[in-house]
């Protein structure tokens, strides 16, 4: 997803989420891959994760300031240490763990085609995937639309119910 969208303002927001969360999870300083002038903005975006239209505008405006340069240093994916971290967190293989995906057809942050491509790769690798694409839903709208379905799916997994495999029905 980062590779597909990095040149767009939504892609910059996703890149900032990824960099910030990986820095937090693995204890790596952001200045290794984030441009010094963008550090405060990346921290702000991470703190303002939004699922509403007003918040989306704020995130978009924050990203627009870096439309020409982006948040990340050049060749961020090849910086020592970060290169391995990025590789380890790119195209993860859930290794036998069933996955639930929900995608809004009007999502401007995560492109539906990118999600469909990833779901197809997981299906071809033998992962059991439940994929729901909600027509006319935005990034935040899909969360509201599928929350009950996602909770039911998770409760069924926790109770040991058989895992549905949407890959077979979708021909993926």
Higher-scoring residue by pLDDT: 23, 56: 23
Q: Mapping DSSP to helix (H, G, I), strand (E, B) and coil, where does residue 129 land?
A: strand
Contacts of 145 (CB under 8 A, 6+ apart): 102, 104, 134, 137
Q: Six-digit token pair at 74? A: 């050049």
Dmax over CA atoms of the chain, in Å, equals: 50
Residue ranges per structural domain of the chain: 2-88, 99-170
User: Helices 53-64 & 9-26, crossing angle to 10 degrees?
Assistant: 90
pTM over 0.75? The answer is no
C-alpha–C-alpha distance, residues 82 and 22, integer Å: 9
Position 11 pLDDT exceeds 90: no
Question: Is residue 65 scored above 60 in pLDDT?
Answer: yes
Select the more confidently predicted residue: 133 or 171: 133
What is residue 136's three-state secondary structure? coil
């Amino acid at each position: 997803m980062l590779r597909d969208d990095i040149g767009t303002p939504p892609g910059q927001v996703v890149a900032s989420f990824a960099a910030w969360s990986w820095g937090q999870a693995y204890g790596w300083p952001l200045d290794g891959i984030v441009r010094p002038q963008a550090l405060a903005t990346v921290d702000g975006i991470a703190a303002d994760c939004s699922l509403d239209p007003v918040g989306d505008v704020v995130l978009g405006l924050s990203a627009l300031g870096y439309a020409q340069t982006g948040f990340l240093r050049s060749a961020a994916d090849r910086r020592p240490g970060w290169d391995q971290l990025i590789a380890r967190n790119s195209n993860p293989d859930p290794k036998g763990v069933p996955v639930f995906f929900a995608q809004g057809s009007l999502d401007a942050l995560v492109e539906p085609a990118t999600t469909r491509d990833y779901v197809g790769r997981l299906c071809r690798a033998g992962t059991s995937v439940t994929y729901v694409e909600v027509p006319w839903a935005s990034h935040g709208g899909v969360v509201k639309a599928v929350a009950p379905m996602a909770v039911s799916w998770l409760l069924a997994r926790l109770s040991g119910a058989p895992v549905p495999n949407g890959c077979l029905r979708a021909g993926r």
